[in-house]
Amino acid sequence: MPALDVFSQHLAGLIPATGQSTFPAQLVAMLRALVPVDDASIIFYPERDLPVVEYFEEHETAGGSTLDVFAKGAFLLDPYYLAATRDRQFGVFRLRELSPSGFKDSEYYKTWYRNCGYQDECGFLIPTSEQGFVNIALGKTAARASFTQRERKLLQDIHPSVAALCQQHWAQSEGSKDGVDLRAQLHSALESFGSSLLTERETQVINLVLHGHSTKTVADKLSISMETVKLHRKHAYAKLEVSSQAELFYLFLDSLMSAKDYAGGDTLVAYLQPPARSQT
């Protein structure tokens, strides 16, 4: 059946489904009918709150659910999330278009994308409000599979309609702009991670390492030599008592999730404090 016919048939069902709980699954069904994919997820980021997983195909790994790792705060390092929040980029993108050099060597990539089995990902980034947005991720997991030029063009062609439907569906879920801005708090925690123990330059290097930047791109961003980057990273690892990027990644996650009533600063301050002795 021609793609236009498939799109038209699904669209007829999607329009009245906006605002209904069935909308995310129906949207994924339409995208699957148009472009062959092995995996799909839809994550909604409200204005001030943590992400809401609207559609997800669960992956169980030796380390537990990849969704659990993502929801603990790892989403802060996701290239799609950063494109929408930091760079205000919206549209249809492949992961390779948004990720930094060296990203596939990062612990975030290994924990999230590789554990999901992705060989290629193409996703929609759609704004729903000033700071809210939706990320629709489509993945191919077969060996050496990738999105063809025709498939990418088709996703680009239907983007305006998909965006209009998503904005109508999720605009109703934005909630109040009052209260604590949880996402802003997490951004602050990431920026400040390690700052209580490290120099300013070491903190900058560690932050870029967590985001998946290679030694070369860290050097380029900070206008220092690659050897200086390696020296800062070595000193930072020693001070943080970690020996690898994997240990650094989980130290960040553990300290973030252990923070109670976070009010700013380095989450390691409270995390490394010895537990208070009980009064007897």
The predicted-structure confidence for 31-61, as pLDDT tens digits, reads as follows 999 999 999 999 999 988 889 999 987 654 4
Q: Report the distance separating Cα 248 and Cα 205, nearest Å.
A: 12
Fold of 182-266: Arc Repressor Mutant, subunit A (1.10.10)
Residue 58: which residues within 8 A CB-CB, separation 6 or more? 65, 67
Q: Which CATH number is associated with domain 36-173?
A: 3.30.450.80
Give, in order, the Cα–Cα distances in Å from 77 to each of 110, 115, 134, 209, 236: 12, 16, 16, 10, 19
Rg over alpha carbons for the chain, rounded to the nearest Å, is 20
> Which carries the bigger pLDDT value, residue 158 or residue 115?
158
Q: Report the distance separating Cα 206 and Cα 194, nearest Å.
A: 8
Give yes or no for residue 65 having a pLDDT over 90.
no
Indicate the pLDDT class of residue 26, thresholds 50, 70 and 90: very high
User: Which among 134, 124, 71, 77 has a CA at the least distance from the CA of 100?
Assistant: 77
Report the amino acid identity of residue 169. Answer: H
Give yes or no for residue 66 having a pLDDT over 70.
no
Q: How far is CA 106 from the centre of its chain?
A: 13
Residue listed under structure tokens 């960040």? 252
Q: Count the residues in the chain.
A: 280
% of the chain at pLDDT higher than 70 = 90
Average pLDDT over residues 112-127: 88
Backbone angles phi, psi at 60, to 5 degrees: -95, 135
Give the model confidence (pLDDT) of 165-220 as tens digits: 999 999 876 655 666 777 888 888 899 999 999 999 999 999 999 999 999 999 99
What residues does each domain of the chain span?
36-173, 182-266
Q: Are 185 and 145 in contact (CB under 8 A)?
A: no
User: Which among 163, 160, 113 has a CA at the least distance from the CA of 138?
Assistant: 113
Give yes or no for residue 246 having a pLDDT over 60.
yes
As a 3-state breakdown, the chain gives helix, strand, coil percent values, each rounded to 5, of: 55, 15, 35
Q: Provide the mean pLDDT of the chain.
A: 88
Do the first three CATH levels of 36-173 and 182-266 match, i.e. the same topology? no
Give, in order, the Cα–Cα distances in Å from 148 to each of 76, 144, 228, 229: 29, 12, 41, 38
Residue listed under structure tokens 């729903």? 128
Predicted confidence at residue 63, as pLDDT, reads 45
Residue listed under structure tokens 């109040």? 176
Query: How is residue 244 written in tokens?
Result: 């690898």
Q: Report the distance separating Cα 202 and Cα 198, nearest Å.
A: 6
Residue 24: which residues within 8 A CB-CB, separation 6 or more? 42, 54, 55
Q: Are 87 and 196 in contact (CB under 8 A)?
A: no
Q: How far is CA 264 from the centre of its chain?
A: 22
Q: Report the distance separating Cα 29 and Cα 13, nearest Å.
A: 11
